[in-house]
Amino acid sequence: MPNSPLTPGIVPGRLPAEAYDRNFGDLYPPFDRHEAAVAADRCYFCHDAPCVAACPTAIDIPLFIRQIQAGNPEGAAKTILSQNILGGMCARVCPTETLCEEACVREAAEGQPVEIGRLQRYATDALMARGIHPFTRAAPTGRRVAVVGAGPAGLACAHRLALHGHEVTVFDARPKPGGLNEYGIAAYKTAGGFAQAEVEWLLKIGGIRIETGKALGRDLALEDLRRDFDAVFLGIGLAGVNALAAEGEDCAGVRDAVDFIAELRQTADLSRLPIGRDVVVIGGGMTAVDAAVQAKLLGAENVTIVYRRGRAAMGASAYEQEHAAATGVRIITGAAPLRIIGNGAVREVEFAYTEEGPEGLRLTADTFRLKADQVFKAIGQTLAGVPEGLKLAGRKIAVEGPGRTSLPGVWAGGDCAAGGDDLTVTAVAEGRDAAEDIHRKLMAG
């Protein structure tokens, strides 16, 4: 939000110019060859491989680590990418601490797992640095598929369909492809323009055309796509943002955390991005943590996350919570917002402590206030609009099996579809599996 007479505390340039590059550089530098070899040597190459079972895309982790150990990182990358075509991004943003690394035998025995995520990055970065695309497209089938949404699910679906020889057109509402990988993930996790570099690399398979600035319901009608294409995949994400439902929500200085993160990701000079001195983030998921940490890295003096339930219920992992705390973010749990106080612009936020009861969460009479000149809402997202004829499961598109919706010829996956976790790696798996189902359907006649 630009600085204005109503928001005097929200200003750009809170830090020396050189601090921005340092703060928003790679969170964890990549392994060099020796470090990768040492990390690979720690793998037991388990017969039952619990790490593979814990990976939503079922990457053969022992195999790719053995390939790194043998000095073949490009071969390791192909093993990874055959299951997860966005393996480079997932190596950076996947919560490995609660998936493959948590299942690692060394984690159980020593409390220090094999660093699977960093090894995965080492392998995929090595292959991408050489400009290699390790897959060859099949002969053209003559079939055309529309993919709506160029996020992780849509890109994974498009690549797998193109690999099978189909012609794919990907439509996306935003100016750039990538979805949350481009617009919704903390900049320090995807430094160096990696999201766009990965998309460009993925498109080397051929057979994929991307059209940006095309939104479903505004520029595209599902009935037209069903008529003009042999199949349709919806990976439209969750563009709607839940309302805070608190008095004063319309005060200047209050905005959606997803918009803040998107603006930050698209700002070339971070010293020009305004940030408050006292920032409050309401929510407990990854969006809340990413917004809070980046507010601190931009120079906010006091940043506080407030979540209505306990820490164990937070959507952000314990690792991410610890990272936020180490950055200087305070986390308050068991409190919900009552009202935002200000005279045009936010000055304070009043909260009530909560407690769990037989009928669920309830507010207590015990309240407190936090000083704030900027408030970010990170309380969840929802579908912005549902095309007619699609059944819902709760607030998401209902699907069966590998993404089949209630409409014949239409599949869905990623955050917009019911079931699964709202993770990049899960979206990739859903897009990939839907593509395989679409391929079987198309080739069956």
Q: What's the pLDDT tens digit per position in 233-271?
A: 999 999 888 888 899 999 999 999 999 999 999 999 999
Q: Answer yes or no: do 282 and 334 share one domain.
A: yes
Tokens of 75: 């071969």
pLDDT (mean) for 48-70: 97
pLDDT (mean) for 56-72: 98
The reply to whether 6 falls in a domain is no
- CATH at residue 65: 1.10.1060.10
Global pTM value: 0.95
Instruction: Please state which of the ranges 150-159, 247-256, 320-329, 382-391 shows the lowest mean pLDDT.
Output: 382-391
The reply to whether 24 falls in a domain is no
DSSP bridge partners of 381: 241
Q: Given CA atoms 144, 149, 150, 151 in this order, what sign does their dihedral have?
A: negative
Q: Answer yes or no: do 359 and 247 share one domain.
A: yes
**What distance in Å separates the CA atoms of residue 412 and residue 232, rounded to the nearest whole number?**
8
* Per-residue model confidence (pLDDT) at position 1: 46
Could you read off the pLDDT of 100-146 as tens digits, one per residue? 999 999 999 999 999 999 999 999 999 999 999 999 999 999 999 99
Boundary (domain end) residue, out of 380, 409, 431: 380
The answer on pLDDT for 163 being more than 60 is yes
The answer on pLDDT for 4 being more than 70 is no
* Per-residue model confidence (pLDDT) at position 2: 47
Q: Answer yes or no: do 343 and 271 share one domain.
A: yes
* Per-residue model confidence (pLDDT) at position 245: 84
Instruction: Provide the 10 A C-beta neighbour count for residue 385.
Output: 11
pLDDT (mean) for 423-440: 98
Percent of the chain with pLDDT over 70: 99
**What distance in Å separates the CA atoms of residue 81 and residue 125, rounded to the nearest whole number?**
12
Quickly state the pLDDT bin for 37 (edges 50, 70, 90): very high
Q: Answer yes or no: do 396 and 423 share one domain.
A: yes
Decide: helix, strand or coil at residue 137. Answer: coil
Domain count, the chain: 3
End-to-end CA separation in angstroms for the chain: 52
Q: Answer yes or no: do 321 and 369 share one domain.
A: yes
Boundary (domain end) residue, out of 80, 99, 129: 129
pLDDT (mean) for 198-204: 98
**What distance in Å separates the CA atoms of residue 42 and residue 109, rounded to the nearest whole number?**
12
The reply to whether 195 falls in a domain is yes
The reply to whether 138 falls in a domain is no
Q: Answer yes or no: do 295 and 370 share one domain.
A: yes
Instruction: Please state which of the ranges 42-56, 171-185, 192-206, 372-386 shows the lowest mean pLDDT.
Output: 372-386
The reply to whether 20 falls in a domain is no
Q: Answer yes or no: do 250 and 353 share one domain.
A: yes
Q: Answer yes or no: do 376 and 387 share one domain.
A: no
Contact between 179 and 266 under an 8 Å Cβ cutoff? The reply is no
Q: Answer yes or no: do 276 and 367 share one domain.
A: yes
The reply to whether 151 falls in a domain is yes
Q: Answer yes or no: do 102 and 113 share one domain.
A: yes
**What distance in Å separates the CA atoms of residue 125 and residue 127, rounded to the nearest whole number?**
5
Q: Answer yes or no: do 211 and 289 share one domain.
A: no
* Per-residue model confidence (pLDDT) at position 6: 55
Boundary (domain end) residue, out of 338, 361, 380: 380
pLDDT (mean) for 59-79: 98
The reply to whether 139 falls in a domain is no
Which among 401, 398, 379, 380 is positioned nearest to 389, based on CA atoms?
Answer: 398
Burial grade of 57 (CB within 10 A; 0-12, 13-18, 19 or more): buried
* Per-residue model confidence (pLDDT) at position 3: 47
Give the structural domain span for 221: 144-239+383-443
**DSSP 8-state class, residue 149:** -
- CATH at residue 215: 3.50.50.60
The reply to whether 76 falls in a domain is yes
pLDDT (mean) for 189-208: 96
Instruction: Provide the 10 A C-beta neighbour count for residue 219.
Output: 11
Q: Answer yes or no: do 361 and 399 share one domain.
A: no
Q: Per-residue DSSP letters for 227-268?
A: HHSSEEEE-----EE-----BTTTSBTEEEHHHHHHHHHT-S
Rounded to the nearest integer, the mean pLDDT of the chain is: 95
